[in-house]
A and B are shown apart, each in its own frame.
Chain A
Amino acid sequence: MDFNGSDTLPGPRTGDHLPHTAQAAVKIVIVGGFGVGKTTMVGSVSEIRPLTTEETMTQAGIGVDDNYGSESKTATTVAMDFGRISITDQLVLYLFGTPGQERFWFLWNGLFEGALGAVVLADTRRLEVSFDVIGRLEERGVPFVVAVNSFPDAPRHPVRELRTALDLAEEIPIVECDARRRASSRDVLMTLVRFLHSLAVTGPPR
């Protein structure tokens, strides 16, 4: 971009500014396989126009001879969209719709380590696309809830069956949602935060 002599700098729209009193932020990540509705959910609850942060990475040429200083590397850009919700004058919540391919999660330092928790979006037409991300969250010890997106032609399974299929412990909430609706997405976030609160009362599992 051109930084010089521009007086129409891209920036927050009026109303997208945080108050000066904003002291700290927390984050929640929205994960799930390809096309399950992550971007839609971020957009429906965000109070600002959803934004995108990018990271560029290089992939070391695999199976290619590494000549000194001339490794074949390809640069790839991975994008992640996010939104924001003001909690109080001091506290802000950010929501990140993570890249569908979890092998790129590491690009954003602390994305998962620092997150309060995660929402796993699942599409019952392709439940298996969410299996990997659930495994990753378990490995990292990130608490999560599962939100099943109500796509019109999607098979409907009783929660008990979904719990078995996803191999989830009894206490992990599974809820239905329509990621396009703000109230529905908000309820999913509420379910997550209530679940995190219950962990605070009972202590983390182990």
Chain B
Amino acid sequence: MTPPRRQRRYPRHEPPPPGPGKQGKQGEAKNPERLYVVAGADEDGARAALDLVTLIVARADPPPSATPEQAALLRLCTAPLSVAELSAYLNLPFSAMTVLITELITAELVQARAPIVRQAVPDRSLLEAVMHGLQRL
């Protein structure tokens, strides 16, 4: 029995995928994805700066002024933890997590370590390191 065949979706007559930031109102109507919005996220709000795998490290103990959420987060990341892990442990949606962390970055209570993202031409030494790490698994 031969398997079913995939129909290529492109070239398609639709605008190029939206870049970071602005989503045109027009596009919102046409692109089915844009029928959904992240609850509580404002236009180009805090979402842009933090990645799921940005590593967060506390720089100080929770100050007396810290909210319970802030204190919980500061206690969790005495050692580095990704935004995704914080979201999981604190049981907060990712977007709410980024808002909370952004406040703490502004207050200089945590430090953020940016992820290494895909480059147009991949970084060979990085990939070699990943291969060695996987081999040890």
Contacts and interface: CB of A to CB of B under 8 A. Distances in A.
6 contacts: A12-B81, A23-B113, A124-B3, A167-B6, A190-B134, A193-B134
Contacts of B54: 25
Interface string B110-137: 0001111110111110111111111101
A28 to B, nearest CB: 9
Contacts of A84: 82, 85
Interface in B61-113: 68-69, 71-72, 75-76, 79-82, 84-85, 87-91, 93-95, 113
Contacts of B133: 85-88, 91, 93
A174 to B, nearest CB: 12
B92 to A, nearest CB: 8
Nearest to A106: B33
Contacts of B88: 51-53, 82
Categorize the interface residue count of chain B. Answer: 35 or more
Interface string B31-57: 011011111100000011001111101
A68 to B, nearest CB: 17
Contact of B129 (A4, A88, A109, A131): A88
B7 interface: yes
Given A94-B82, A139-B9, A204 B52 contact: no
By DSSP majority rule, is chain B's interface helix, strand, loop, or mixed? mixed
Interface residues of A, number: 89
A66 interface: no
A127 B90 CA distance: 37
Contacts of A1: 90-91
Interface of B: 1-10, 17, 20, 32-33, 35-40, 47-48, 51-55, 57, 68-69, 71-72, 75-76, 79-82, 84-85, 87-91, 93-95, 113-118, 120-124, 126-135, 137
Nearest to B73: A3
A129 B122 CA distance: 29
Contacts of A27: 52-53, 115
Contact of B2 (A110, A139, A165): A165
A23 B52 CA distance: 15
A52 B52 CA distance: 12
Contact of A17 (B38, B79, B117, B129): B79
B39 A53 contact: no
B117 to A, nearest CB: 4
B7 A56 contact: no
Contacts of B8: 135, 138, 167
